[in-house]
Structures are given as structure tokens and as C-alpha cells.
Amino acid sequence: MSLESSTSYTLEVARVREYIQEMKELQNEPICAYIRDLRALVAHVRQRVQSMPGSSKLFYAIKANSEEHVLQALAPIVHGFEVASLGEIVKVRKISADIPILFGGPGKTEAELLGAIEYGVQLIHVESLHELNKLNDIAEQKGVCVSVLLRVNLSGPFPQATLAMGGRPTQFGIDESLVPQVMEHLKDYPHVQVEGFHFHSLSNNLNAISHVKLLKYYCKIANQWSTEFGLTLRYLNVGGGIGVNYSNLEEQFDWSIFVNGLATLLTSELKSSTTVLFECGRYLTASSGYYATEVLDIKTNHGKTFVIVRGGTHHFRLPVSWQHSHPFEVVEVEAWPHSYDRPQVMEKTITVAGQLCTPKDILASDVAASRVRVGDILLFQYAGAYGWAISHHEFLSHPHPKHIYLDQ
């Protein structure tokens, strides 16, 4: 994270902190809320889009956060949306009737493929030979020709990242060894037009230099197959894969190094007629989202100090899903309207747990804290992606958090 962006983020956090304190003054119930700073979101994404080379386009992968307010804020900025279900297609079309859509994911149903055609999806990412057969049949019935990219599970090698979708056995894409067989059968699919390839092999890469190297590898393979199989390479979808450093918020993916390297790479490795597509999710929305939750209890159990908060993984599943301690700060609340003592810990190592009846309901483990009191609020930062969207909201039937959108 550059000094400029670090300073900007510090100001954004201060703004959210002030809002939470005002919010606490106005309500008696324990605080539990998702807060999205839409102004910060728009500024962050606009800078990324505007700095990209002209032969590339940035799509937002809405699986990271598909809330209507977020989609509305991003629709005028990004080049389009990437979706993974018919339900997500419908969400996008509710926002815009004509914004470009990319549709990926394994196991697409006939209803989803038909819906993709009817809703005007720009490119469908085909994941298997069977899916290609199914899509061609549906397109024939509709009397249309559908543009697709072949998603391929490449062999690699790939750089280190938190999640790997390629270079190993996964449910994603067509095995690289089967590409010649698929290309040989393309003549049997008159209602499908292959426009290029989709390579999304990993997620949450934090190294900008290694990510440029990864894209160079993608370009090499795509060019090789384009020549070998006589395919006009109109699009190369390189997925998302750009990560967020949850363990150290001050050291994030260096976007400026990345786009400078990308500009050089695209000029040297691809024809000007080829457009490179990115479908980023987490990287675009994480930093502008916060999960605020009030401390309900503090106790020591078998020598370990637990801070119990109003909420948990049924609201914010990302930490337990990724098995990390999510970064947070303590927003101190001085008011204590009760006659009984206020529990607190000073200079302790704490574990933050939620209200669920499972020992897995942990948001942060063994974190040093200078002071935490019941009634204070923990503000979890970088919570704008894969938080509420992937959580099991109805488990134990606790109330949902408030959803607050700051746009001024």
C-alpha cells in the first residue's frame, strides 16, 4: 500500500469509527452492523479501471459482494460484471439492461444456459465438453450462435496463493490435456463460437511481479493454441486472483507495479486485436467494507481470554473459512449505564468469539489487545468481500446485522 493510499485508508477508517460512535449514542441495543463506504469503493475501483492498459478490461466478480447498493455504485465504473449463476445474472440485469456480463462456474444447468442467452450474456465460460454439447443444443433451439471462452485447467507451475483452482485436480475447467480433443470437435458445434480462453488458476496472489509473470505464461499458452488450432484470439480472460493481505493491512498488492508490467506485457505478447479480461472481486470491494460488533462478555476459560461479541461467523464467515485472524481495532465507548461492574482486560492476548453454539465461531485468535471492555465495539476492517455473502445467516436464528451504506 502506497503512502498516499495508506493515508487515504486511515481517513476512511476514522470516518467509519466516528459514524459508529454516533450510532451507539442513538441506540440501546448492542451494535452489530455491516458498513460499506461507497465513496471509498468508487474511488478505489475508478483508479484501478482508469490506470489499466487500453487493451484490457476490468469486470467485477459479484460473488464477492452482490448487494444491490454495491452493484449500483460499480456499474458506471467497471467494464462489466462476472457472474456464477442465473440468480446473479438477474441481480445484474436489475441494475442494468445492457452492461456486459461474463458467466462462469462449473455445473451450469440448462435453465442457467438458456437464461444466459435470453438475458444477453456477452461470454459464457464453458467448463467441459458436456457443457459445450448442452449449450450448442440450447442455442440451436433458440436459433442463435453463442460466444464462449473455453475455461482450461492449466498444468502450471503457478505462484503461491491462498486458493488454487488450476494446476491440480479441481472441478474447474477442462483438463489441459483434453484441449486438442475439444478443439477437434468444434466443427460439430455450429451454434457456438469460441472467442478465446479463460485461465483462472489461483486466488489471492499478493505479489504484483509474480502476477505479471503468471499472465505472461497465460499469453504464451493462448498464443500457442491460437496458432495450433487456427483460432482467432479475441479474448483472453485471466481471471481475478489479485489478493488482499489480511495479516498486514499496510502491505497490499502493489497495483502500480502491476499495471506498469501489464502494459509492457500486453504490447509485447499479444496482438492489438486481443482484449484481456480481468474478473476481480475481493480486491475491489474488501477494503471499503467493515463489520462492527459490540463486546457482550469477557471471560477466561482454561487460561485463555475470550471476548464474546454480538454476532459471529453466521454474519462474517470469512475468518473461519480462510482460517485466519481477521484484523480489527477497538472503538472505545465510554458510556456505561449499569450499576454493576464493567468487565475489561488490559494488555492481554484475546480470542474473539461470536454467539454461536460451536467452538468454530471464532473471528480472531490470540491477538494482543491493550484494553477491551464490555460495551466497546470491535471494528473489523477489510470486510467488504466474502463476508455476509458466504455466511450461514439463519443458523440459531439470531437477528441479522444492520446494513449501512455511506455515500457522502
Q: List, by residue number, the catalytic residues.
A: 357
Question: What's the distance, CA 56 to chain centroid?
Answer: 19
**Alpha-carbon distance 202 to 163, whole Å?**
6
Q: How many CA atoms lie within 13 A of 173 on its CB side?
A: 27
Place of cell 493454441: 225
First to last CA, the chain: 24
How far from 265 is each of 96, 202, 212, 254, CA to CA, in Å?
33, 20, 8, 17
Mind giving me the DSSP string for 114-183?
HHHHHTT-SEEEE-SHHHHHHHHHHHHHHT--EEEEEEEE--------SEESSSSS-SSSEEGGGHHHHH
Contact 146, 152 (CB under 8 A): no
Other beta carbons within 10 Å of 310: 23
Contacts of 24 (CB under 8 A, 6+ apart): 31, 294, 333, 335, 377
Contacts of 241 (CB under 8 A, 6+ apart): 161, 200, 201, 202, 203, 204, 205, 211, 214
**Closest to 167 in 3D by CA, of 126, 195, 131, 205:** 205
Contact 375, 335 (CB under 8 A): yes
Please report, for the chain, how many H helices and E strands are present, in that order.
Answer: 11, 19
> Three cell numbers at 272?
492489438
Contact 24, 33 (CB under 8 A): no
